[in-house]
Structure 1
Amino acid sequence: MQIARCSLRCGSSNAFRPQQALRCLFFEQKLPLNFDNARRISTTHPKLQEEERPVVETPPADARIPSESSPIPPSEYIDTASLQGSLQTLRRKNRERLLGQEHASTDDPSPSGGQSKDAKVDDLLPERRWAINKATLPKTTDEPQPQARTNSYKAQKITKRKSKYNAVDPLEYTGMYVRPSIGEANPEQEYPWTKDIPDDLRGMARLDAEIWNFSEYIRPTPAEQATFKAVTEDVQKCAKEYCPDYETEAYGSQSSGLALSTSDIDIRLYDKEHKFSREAPRAKSRNEIFAHIKRLEHQFRFQNSDYIMVRIRQARYPLLSMLHKKTGLDIQIVASNDTSYSNNLIQQYLVDYPYLYANYALIRSLFEIRGLTDVYRGGLGSYSLIMMIMAVIKSKGVTVSGEQGHIRAGGLLAAKRLLDVLQFYAGLDTYETALSLEHPFKVNKHDKLDVSEKQRAEFAEASHLEFLNKLALIDHMQPYLLCLQDPADPLNDLGRKGYGWKHIQTTIKVLRGVITKTMSSSVQQNSKDLKAPAQSIIARAVGPCFKAYEARRAITEAYGQEILDKERAAKEKAVRAADKKAVEAESADI
């Protein structure tokens, strides 16, 4: 027999019907109250009997009032003509019940088992008294009623102004120097990037040489590149098998030319129809592709033993992260928009400014060993870092031909630009300043939604200023955030999620002082003792990465070397087979 589904409804003669009470409140305020549908509330705590009761209307003579034998004694009724009065009554009754429970559980209860005559609310513990007051007192708010919310109120919410509608304190904290996760380095130790540098090279020249050598040290070797390529192709092959309707492509540092030996592998999952779409996917498309991301998670977790720690992470775009079991490489599959424009932009920067990769490799490494590149914990990603460097270079007003000429002439631009970047961000007031890679490069943060006529004229001359003006709105919750306009997407703020900026800036200040002090001391030491061994200038900044990455790079190197050996053996076998066929063909002709 099929069970009928129906909603439960109280059949009591005095059941409380909310719809009846609301109807009486809003539509039938002048009609007599029907006490068949009114809820009676019993009294009362002895200590509170003398309190002033809210005035209620006397029921009409023809109303049916329950008798003394009623299960609930007739005492007091909710006045449905006044919702506020009804709520006050309910809260007072709740307060009576809580006070009765509190004093009934004491060691010296009254003979009647309830509250004694001398008991007071003030006799309770402060914590308990606070909880009772919070549960029973009416909730008040300064926020205007919905009908009173004017356009000015909405503008205040949009601009995030601190007002009585948004009275919150900013999430302030004190920035601290972040030490490397494996401890500080010893400047006197010999590092791979200092082996070929003569000891008599000191000061700015030595810093420049160490930056270039470090970039070559941290750059992926041919074996490591083979590992990256093999793992990327394997992930793409599996993704194509699990989601045949979607395409994949490598993006991020592996495709832009910024890859380090410790970089992760980023793979974009996209629909064929939206391959070149630079806009973020709509909600419907995002939900569809999220279902495919969940399918990939299930397949990689339960059907593929080559990958571990498979999980979906909360991000702007659906994102699947995992770890390659044999090499330990981090892999991310992201359903993002097209990033080819950003990649082309970075590749052009690398060509125009030859020292850019060297500076990026150093800054990225010193952040990474301190955990400041984790975007899920308030750090800054690779793309944000490269644009931070470019913002400083652009603000210097240098030309591409001039920079390349200095490099050819032996100029120490790698060291100079590194110190420029550290000095710029160590003294940047992010409370007041927003940055861009186009002129005027700096604008003041503001709290105004309106645009003046002068600003409109400026927007007409430089279109990026209109978007930068929107990005420069002060976030009163985190007014210290770095505001950096993305040149590939003018409405994208590259620092909006970097809530660890104050730690990042303090770390930059400390390391700038350490590098400058070590560089000057090396010059003084060289003038006193020419035979004294030189110390590494960048050891305090990136020295710990040598120990941190040594074991990991050895695994990646060995895995890639096996791949290269197999490819070399296959090529040699093919060459021998081709030579054998050629010999057989010559002998047949004879």
Structure 2
Amino acid sequence: MNIVRRSKDLQQDSKRDPEALEEAKRWLAYVPLVVDPQESPLEESLPVPWALRFKERRNLTASQLLDEEICRFAAHIFLTRTESMARGRILAHTIDKLKPILKGTSGRYFVFGSMTTGTALPFSDIDVGVGRKGVHTGGAMYSPLQRLYNDIVAENEYMCTVFRGGKFPIMTAQHAESGVDVQVIAGDEHAEKKKMTIEYLESVPNARPLYAVVRTMLGMRGFIDPFVGGISAYGAMHMLFAPLLQPSTTSINSPSAASQLQQFLSFFATFDTESHGLAVRPPEIFSKIDPVPSTATNGTRFTMGRTTPRERLARTSLLQPYLLCLEDPAKPDNDLGARVTAIRHILTTLQALSEDLTASMEAYDGARAQGQPLEGEFSLLLPLIGRCHEVYAERRAKLVAYETKMQERDLIAGLRISKVPVQGSFKKKHVV
């Protein structure tokens, strides 16, 4: 049983049985661990694509080296044209399956997430939403999503298909031939969320390459999965923006990506999630407040309706006071960290990575100052993101192979069509 489900059960038990409260607190106060990145599945190591050769880095400081590695890593991990075309093809295929199901329901579909903000990586989900105009709950689209799930299960084009009900039903599946994960969720379209995300990506220096690093760093450790206590990719993005937009860091006109990555790591290495929360718009650190009392001191019953969105957001969880409180800039009453039960593992890991990176950079600069620069394959970024180029190699190759196959199929189909005479295209011979 995962920690998310168990924590929900314990919280319900503690409401019915006061004696269960202490047991719940003890169980949920787990010992945080430093989590290593996923190990490479390959027997033989591949060259690190973002690592500089000795001749390229011999005259660079550690900060300059890290900056260049971040730039090269982003170039490596961002979608190639072929990968982007393949994902677009799978998106179109998903929508083609949705259209007949939504017909006659007054429902509509919309694309959101990384596909619309330009932050998609080869292993990112394809996100499609379905909703009904004027209805602000996902329950209204339960039946169409259930039909979509049944249709997909009946075919062999998708695998690992899961349907979850609730207030906002969601269906997840993996396109078998390409390996791309697709999720279709019932809910409202948040145009403001997309607008703000793009705004931050364009205004925060080095936002896209830094997000690629942070997204991969967390993903390689299993921390990008809200269903098992991790944070969403959207939440991870604003977790990155929060420290970078603090007044103490925005005073630098042109910060390097290296200094910003160090700032991100050092910020969360010491950030106290039990006492404070984070906001991005405007950027600030605010104090958490006591858990919701059942009654006020004068005996009147407490109601959340009398509080502001920030007050509701800042209420400390009675059972999990360590949860990250991260205000959604597009929807201030939405806490992006409310369900991140693995946050203690995340913060402990970031602290270790911050310390290790600082030590490695000091050692690199020290050896260089003594005229003994480190030779051989060397990368400051590698301990943070692991051998992701090997972990994702097969998945990326599968995606490219799928698109290549589809393009060949389209080419053959086009040649066949070109051989069919078009009606009315024949001209009469001129008779003299």
| Cα distance in structure 1, aligned partners of 2:404 and 2:89 | 12
Partner of 1:319: 170
Residue 114 of structure 2, aligned match among 250, 253, 267: 253
Question: 3-state DSSP class of the match of 2:100?
Answer: helix
Count of equivalent residues: 390
Equivalents in 1 of 2:235, 2:386: separation in Å? 23
Taking the aligned partners of 1:263 and 1:339, their CA distance within structure 2 comes to: 19
Residue in 2 that maps onto 1:329: 180
One-letter amino acid of the structure 2 residue matched with residue 209 of structure 1 = E
Cα distance in 2 for residues equivalent to 1:576 and 1:417: 58
Partner of 2:70: 211
Of the three residues 331, 335, 342, the one matched with 1:500 is 342
Residue 546 of structure 1 pairs with residue 389 of structure 2:
yes
Shifted more, 292-301 versus 559-568: the winner is: 559-568
Letter aligned with residue 294 of structure 1: Q
Q: Identity of counterpart residues, as a percentage?
A: 25
Question: Structure 1 residues 166, 488: CA separation in 2 closer, same or farther (over 3 Å shift)?
Answer: farther
* SS state at 1:524 partner: helix
Deviation readout 1:329-379 (Å, 9 max, x if unpaired): 111110121122111111111111241111111111111111111111110
Give 3-state SS (helix, strand or coil) of 1:225's partner.
helix
User: What corresponds to 2:126 in structure 1?
Assistant: 265
Distance 1:476 1:447 in 2: 8
1:313 shift after superposition? 2.4
| 2:246 maps to which of 392, 395, 398 | 395
Pick the aligned partner of 1:556 from 384, 399, 422. 399
CA distance in 1, matches of 2:411, 2:372: 51
The answer as to whether partners of 1:425 and 1:505 remain within 8 angstroms in 2 is yes
Q: Does 1:199 align with 2:57?
A: yes
| Counterparts of 2:41 and 2:259, CA distance in 1 | 25
* Counterpart secondary structure, 1:193: coil
* Aligned mates of 2:247, 2:93 — CA distance in 1: 44
Bigger fraction of residues in strand:
2
Paired with 1:489 and 1:300, the residues of 2 have a C-alpha distance of: 33
Aligned 8 A contact 1:226 1:563 in 2: no
Q: 1:520 to 1:531 in 2, by over 3 A?
A: closer
Over 3 Å counting, the alpha-carbon distance change for 1:235 and 1:449 in structure 2 is closer
Q: Does residue 338 of the first structure (1) align with residue 154 of the second (2)?
A: no
Q: Which moved more, 1:317-326 or 1:336-345?
A: 336-345
Residues in 2 aligned to 1:539 and 1:189: alpha-carbon distance in whole angstroms: 13
> 1:159-183 CA distances to partner (integer Å, 9 max, x unpaired)?
x99x979853522111101122326
Contact 1:309 1:323 in 2 (8 A): yes
Instruction: Say if 2:284 is the partner of 1:441.
Output: yes
TM (norm. structure 1) is 0.60
1:235 to 69, 85, 94: 94
TM-score, structure 2 as length reference: 0.81
Greater relative contact order (Cα < 8 A, sep 6+): 2
Please tell me the residue identity of whatever aligns with 1:219.
F
Letter aligned with residue 434 of structure 1: G
Residues 352 and 217 (structure 1), Cα distance of their counterparts in 2 relative to 1, 3 Å cut: same
Tell me, in whole angstroms, the C-alpha distance in 1 between the residues paired with 2:81 and 2:376. 33
Structure 2 CA distance for partners of 1:564 and 1:522, relative to 1, 3 Å: farther
Distance in 2 of aligned mates of 1:196 and 1:355: 24
**8 A contact 1:236–1:249 mirrored in 2:** no
Q: Which residue of 1 is the match for residue 332 of structure 2?
A: 490
Task: Give the match's secondary structure for 2:199.
Answer: helix
Please list, as runs of the form range in 1=range in 2, the aligned pairs for 1:125-524 lying within 5 A after superposition.
167-168=21-22, 169-170=24-25, 171-182=28-39, 190-195=47-52, 198-200=56-58, 201-244=60-103, 245=105, 246-271=107-132, 273-274=133-134, 280-281=136-137, 286-302=138-154, 304-314=155-165, 316-396=167-247, 406=254, 413-439=256-282, 441-447=284-290, 466-524=308-366
Structure 2, unaligned stretches of length 5 or more? Answer: 1-10, 294-306, 421-425
8 Å CA contact 1:199–1:534 kept in 2: the answer is no
TM-superposed deviation, 1:255: 1.0
- Cα distance 1:569–1:531, how it changes in 2: closer, same or farther (>3 A)? farther
Contact 2:139 2:167 in 1 (8 A): no
Report the structure number with the largest CA radius of gyration. Answer: 1
Seen in structure 2, the aligned counterparts of structure 1 residues 468 and 224 have a Cα distance that, compared at 3 Å, is same
Change (3 A) 1:417 1:572: farther
Q: Which letter maps to 2:152? A: F
1: CA distance, partners of 2:210 / 2:292:
38
